[in-house]
Amino acid sequence: MQKYKKFIKPTIYSVLFIYFIIIGYRSARPRYKPENFTDIFNDFSWLVDWPKWLDFPLMQPLNAGFDWLIVNYGLFFEAINNFLLGLYTSMKGFLVGLPWPLVIAIVIFITYFASGKKTSTTVMVAFCTFFLGFLSPRYWDKCIMTTCIVLIGMGLCIIVGIPVGIAMARNKKVRNALLPVLDLMQTIPSFCYLIPGILLFGLGAVPAIIAIFVYAVPPLIRLTDLGIRLVDKEVIEASEAFGASKRQTLLGRSNPFSSTYYYARN
């Protein structure tokens, strides 16, 4: 049985490949198909251009699936849309209501500490931020809108990505199950995520937030998982030996009044 085990997967893939070809041929329009199936082996002109009779029918199942989601879970998607749209509107109204010099000052403050107190980077970001409004007030408003969308998308990534990355690092089964999904999410271009977002949430800022979330959350999950797994085993064993819980080991904190903390420090 072991010597035939290596042929199981190729056999399954071959059967699926033939099945998809048959389904595509049977679902094609009659005007695109030859009169007889055997004509395919007599005329090989279809090898030059992709044959129209080889078209897998995905449109109808996809449309039916989206209709089913909207009919059965429309309230759920509407609640998500209202929440994200309300968050976006509130943040945009708050930033637009602030004086523009204060907004630039906040950007300079964040840039200065985020860049490691690099003056050149801070000056460049400050100049670019001022230049957006200097070109046109419309660009300043668009900049505020884009900033709100990005900040909300980043917040969602942090809320979802870090816990999922921790779960992947602690459970190998979770990691093996999520890795193919993360690979698929990073392979598909980000603009493709706008299509289901528009179908489910309509036009506006919400599909953009969803697209940012789907495209940006896989790297955060992967880096969280990788960062935890690359911690030296000796450090984890020492933490467990001093009686630290999983939460304390993860966060790197301990009770300063406990004896284990005292001996670990000394």
Which of 57, 78, 97 represents a domain boundary (last residue)?
Answer: 57
Instruction: Examine residue 201 and state whether it is found in any structural domain, yes or no.
Output: no
Average pLDDT, the chain: 81
Which residue in 210, 78, 208, 216 sits closest to 142, CA to CA? Answer: 208
Instruction: Examine residue 24 and state whether it is found in any structural domain, yes or no.
Output: yes
pLDDT, position 2: 64
Q: What's the rounded Cα separation, in Å, for the pair 92 and 82?
A: 15
Report yes or no on whether pTM surpasses 0.85: no
pLDDT, position 222: 92
Please enumerate in sequence order all residues whose Cβ is within 8 A of that of 147, keeping only pairs 6 or more positions apart, or say none.
Answer: 95
CA 15 to chain centre: 32
Q: In which domain, by residue range, is 33 found?
A: 1-57
CA 93 to chain centre: 27
Instruction: Examine residue 39 and state whether it is found in any structural domain, yes or no.
Output: yes
pLDDT, position 162: 92
DSSP string covering 118-146, please? -HHHHHHHHHHHHHHHHH-HHHHHHHHHH
pLDDT, position 257: 43
Work out how many domains the chain is built from and give that number: 2
Backbone angles phi, psi at 130, to 5 degrees: -65, -35
Positions of the chain with pLDDT lower than 70, given as ranges = 1-4, 35, 37, 39, 45-46, 253-266
Instruction: Examine residue 52 and state whether it is found in any structural domain, yes or no.
Output: yes
Q: What's the rounded Cα separation, in Å, for the pair 172 and 164?
A: 12
pLDDT, position 259: 42
Rg of the chain on CA atoms, in Å: 27
pLDDT, position 223: 92
Which of 57, 80, 100 represents a domain boundary (last residue)?
Answer: 57
Instruction: Examine residue 80 and state whether it is found in any structural domain, yes or no.
Output: no
Which of 13, 38, 57 represents a domain boundary (last residue)?
Answer: 57
